[in-house]
Amino acid sequence: MTLPTVTPREVRQDWIARREIALLDLREEDPFARSHPLFASQLPLSRLELEILDRVPRNDTKIVLYDNGEGLVSPAGKRLAALGYTQVRALAGGLEGWKAAGYELFQDVNSYSKAFGELVEARRHTPSLPAPDVQKLIDAKADHVILDSRRFEEYATMSIPGGISTPGAELVLRARQIAPDPATTIIVNCAGRTRSLIGAQSLVNAGVPNPVFALRNGTIGWTLAQQTLEHGQSRKFPPVTDQTLDEARAKARDVAYRAGVRRIDAEGLIDLATERKRTLYRFDVRTPEEYAAGHLPGFRSAPGGQLVQETDVFAPVRGARIVLADDLGPRADMSASWLSQLGWDVYVLDGGFDGALETGVWAPTSPTLPTVETLSPDDLAVALGDAAVVVLDLAPSPLHRKGHVPGAWFAIRARLAEAFERIPEGLPIVLTSPDGRLATLAAAEVEEISDRPVRVLGGGTQAWAASGRRLDTGLVRAASDPEDVYKRPYEGADHALEAMQAYLDWEYGLVDQLARDGSHGFFVI
């Protein structure tokens, strides 16, 4: 499929003019992290149909697709057309075209949020302490608290000794409950820099009376200082009293006002939703547990700290509107204050939680799946026992490593043709994925490139596990290189010190790169 093209200059002009546009990088995460334009969002061809309906909810949004010569744009255009998207374009020249136009290319993931964090520190001189100084406070049993602003799962993997899990949007709401004495020093940390800086500056912006510092360079800085991290901790923030809540509400609302955040009620939300020519994202910025217990219909779970950190993932349509919901208030106000400074048209929903609520975790919108031939876990077990099939697992590589059907080969959907060069010849193919949906979508593609019989494991690997059968772990059989995941130097505990330092050096240079790029439109209150 040949798509109309737009030039890099046109894309950049749309950003500057704040017109709605989604620039989508169709590659897997690792090559994306190596080089991409500032506001590009990574949405791999492998998972396009499973993610696009939520990430680009309006089907006449201007979508611009690109790759780096891998041939991903044409099949992506066909899939989007089949889903009803009508304004799909290709970036002229792809990634090389962007580079040839003289525009900046950024590295890593969540790049523009991280660049913004560096800009905040440069403009506001966010106070920070190096790891050795924090270690001295711990050793001296000084009056301090350490608040870890990451997701709880990241905190549990590795944390600063004594740290308390307090994800970013919770900080202004919870800090005074955790540290009621104004003399108590509050230290905010994350794995690297961004969430530490944004978290600490949130407390400063809200006028928290305590001494507030970011842990300079987070757990990376802690590791580079050869200091010991804790693992497997479960300390979480406590509930807040009415007095603390009232104080946090007043402070957070003032910050949101200074950032230009607007407020709407339920009727105003309906009004925004009726504008069919504007994309409207609706995010619930509370904790996942609160969301599951009861949330407003149509709102996606997006804990505020992660929303600010991963805005490119949650909201690929640059220029769209965003509405935030929070039954207590401060989390939406603080998250909105940062999104506004990031250049978003953002609103806070006042009230709304007194009506009918939905329960359960957020589930992505699924496309209509084709009819395919399936087999049950029982039938697959028999076929495996007879060595009569080859199982291809299309799960993300971390999930494959965690558990897969015994003997299954890991494969990336967009790399199926290459995968067939590595797997055993001649045998029928059984496709699986975590819940079977991705495997179902891929079945027709396998039939096109192979003359082997193809079936899908009904219910996917989850059904196999639910039947009581064992799962193998690790990545032993790789029909595709695991480029679907970028190995972050700020997550986990097995990264080289050189990679950690290189990551920090990259972050330090982001402010200058933003200035060279010139398209961001960020401001700092």
Q: What is the per-residue pLDDT across 475-493, written as a single tens digit (0 to 9) for each? A: 999 999 999 999 887 765 5
pLDDT at 10 over 80: yes
Task: Please determine, for residue 194, whether its predicted confidence score (pLDDT) is greater than 90.
Answer: yes
> pLDDT per residue over 270-284, tens digit each?
999 999 999 999 999
Q: What span, in angstroms and rounded, lies between the C-alpha atoms of 300 and 80?
A: 22
The domains of the chain, with CATH numbers, are 5-108 (3.40.250.10), 116-233 (3.40.250.10), 250-349 (3.40.250.10), 374-466 (3.40.250.10)
Q: Give the model's pLDDT for residue 488.
A: 82
Confidence label for 1 from pLDDT (cuts 50, 70 and 90): confident
How far apart CA 239 and CA 245 sit, in angstroms, is 10
> What span, in angstroms and rounded, lies between the C-alpha atoms of 469 and 471?
7
Over residues 287-301, the mean pLDDT reads 97
What secondary structure does DSSP assign to 20-42, as a single string? -BEEEE-S-HHHHHHSB-TT-EE
Sorting pLDDT into bands at 50, 70 and 90, what band is 495? low
Amino acid found at 438: L
CA atoms of 39 and 331, how far apart (whole Å): 25
Q: Are the C-beta atoms of 364 and 51 separated by less than 8 Å?
A: yes
Query: Closest by alpha carbon to 212, among 173, 242, 176?
Result: 176
Band (376; pLDDT cuts 50, 70, 90):
very high
Confidence tier at 298 by pLDDT (50, 70, 90): very high
Integer Cα distance of 203 and 184 in angstroms: 13
Rg over alpha carbons for the chain, rounded to the nearest Å, is 24
Sheet holding 185-189, edge to edge: 128-129, 212-215, 185-189, 144-148, 164-165
Q: Which single residue is written with the structure tokens 């990088």? A: 25
Q: Smallest Cα–Cα separation from 40: which of 312, 342, 338?
A: 312
User: What's the CA gap between 306 and 311, in Å, rounded?
Assistant: 8
Q: What is the mean pLDDT of residues 488-516?
A: 83
In 411-503, DSSP assigns E strands to 429-432, 454-457
pTM: 0.96
pLDDT for the residue numbered 502: 85
Question: Cβ–Cβ contacts within 10 Å for residue 355, how many?
Answer: 9
- Average of pLDDT values for 330-343? 98
CA distance 139 to 508: 29
Torsion from C-alpha of 351, 356, 357, 359, nearest 10 degrees: 170
The pLDDT tens digits of the residues spanning 214-259 come to 999 999 999 999 999 999 999 999 999 999 999 999 999 999 999 9
